[in-house]
Amino acid sequence: MGNFSAGIFKIVAFMFITLAVMVTLPRLSPVIFPVLPGPSPTFDCDDGTLDMYRHFQGLGIESTPIVGNLDMNGEEYMESNHVWLLVKSGDRDIAYDWGIPRFDRQHYEGYTISLDYLLYAVAEDKKSADLLASVEY
């Protein structure tokens, strides 16, 4: 009888954990994956990065805008054509690009830019040609 009750306990515990995950995950999803519009002529990578920055800032999570070129290794600053975000998670950073965590090496290379420069790039987009080019990543 002892083995039977232990087996039932494991099944009930598994069902409880599964139910808890199913109830919690949809509520966590918008926190972990910020909702952004897709790339368009009026909304490019700097706009998306600014939206993500504000999203995480509103949650009290520190983040840093990064510029680089995802198609090159060891690019120079002036070869940068894309911007994304590094989000603090404990003592590590998680790269976010278009609202999705990225774990490839390229997203952890690049150059830090200030929030002021990101705001400047977004404002320049509204005036004329893109300062940070819209790239389909």
32-50 per-position pLDDT tens digit:
778 888 888 888 999 999 9
Residue at 73: amino acid letter: N
- Which of 67, 60, 74 is CA-nearest to residue 114? 67
Which helix (H) or strand (E) covers residue 116, if one does?
helix 115-127
Name the helix (H) or strand (E) containing 87. strand 82-89
pLDDT at residue number 130: 52
Positions in the chain short of pLDDT 50: 1, 133-137
What does the block give as tokens for 75? 């690019």
pTM over 0.85: no
Report, in angstroms and rounded to the nearest whole number, the Rg of the chain calculated over CA atoms. Answer: 20
Task: Provide φ and ψ at 111, rounded to 5°.
Answer: -125, 135
Which of 103, 106, 116, 105 minimizes the C-alpha distance to 80?
106
The sign of the torsion formed by the CA atoms of 33, 68, 116, 122 equals negative
pLDDT recorded at residue 22? 63
At which residue do the structure tokens 């999803």 appear? Answer: 29
